Amino acid sequence: MSPQNNIEQQHKQFLQNLKKEKKMVRLYQLLIFISFFSLWEAASRAKWIDPLIFSSPYKIWNLLMQKMGDGSLITHITITLGETVAGFILGTLMGTMLAALLWWSPFLSKVLDPYLVILNAMPKVALGPILIVALGPGLTSIIAMGAIISVIITSVNEKVIPKRT
């Protein structure tokens, strides 16, 4: 057997092993997926977990099909997407303006730096209840939440840009 044929045979064997490994990975991923949802369903039906809090995959699937059937899912997705995009755009614009202001004013940057670091380190989800109490459970608090997250992230990234001297 020539060295060239040996290399080609080894390459074919390598590719076959890769395919076999990929199939095994997919099989195990599928088994974990099915096991997880089966255990969740069983735990919900047996009341091992609170069905009010965790529900069950079967009930969630039925509700999804019902909402898709009556068209309300698309309506809610459209509204949520619009609110998210509005908050992101508003927050990015405000964050960019704040970052530019901090870049132009080294003194203001030094003053606000610890507060921006704290806001960035704080879990953003913790702001949700505060905004709902302050602004109400409507459109304003949802857009404000998206804007605040974007402002914090955009303005903190200002530190990447070198300061003017």
> Would you say residue 97 has pLDDT above 80?
yes
- 1-20, pLDDT tens digit by residue? 677 778 888 999 999 999 99
How far is 49 from 154, CA to CA, in rounded Å?
40
pTM score, whole prediction: 0.63
How far is 151 from 48, CA to CA, in rounded Å?
42
What spatial distance separates the first Cα and last Cα of the chain, rounded to whole Å? 70
Q: Do 86 and 41 share a structural domain? A: no
What DSSP line would sit under the chain, residue for residue? --HHHHHHHHHHHHHHHHHHHHHHHHHHHHHHHHHHHHHHHHHHHTTSS-HHHH--HHHHHHHHHHHHHHTHHHHHHHHHHHHHHHHHHHHHHHHHHHHHHHHH-HHHHHHHHHHHHHHHHS-GGGHHHHHHHHH-SSHHHHHHHHHHHHHHHHHHGGGGSPPP-
Q: Do 151 and 109 share a structural domain? A: yes
- 44-56, pLDDT tens digit by residue? 999 999 888 889 9
Question: Residue 31 is part of which domain span?
Answer: 3-70
- 123-133, pLDDT tens digit by residue? 888 888 998 99
Q: Do 117 and 83 share a structural domain? A: yes
Q: Do 50 and 89 share a structural domain? A: no
- In-domain check, residue 165: no
Domain count, the chain: 2
- In-domain check, residue 99: yes
Q: Do 131 and 78 share a structural domain? A: yes
- In-domain check, residue 138: yes
- In-domain check, residue 107: yes
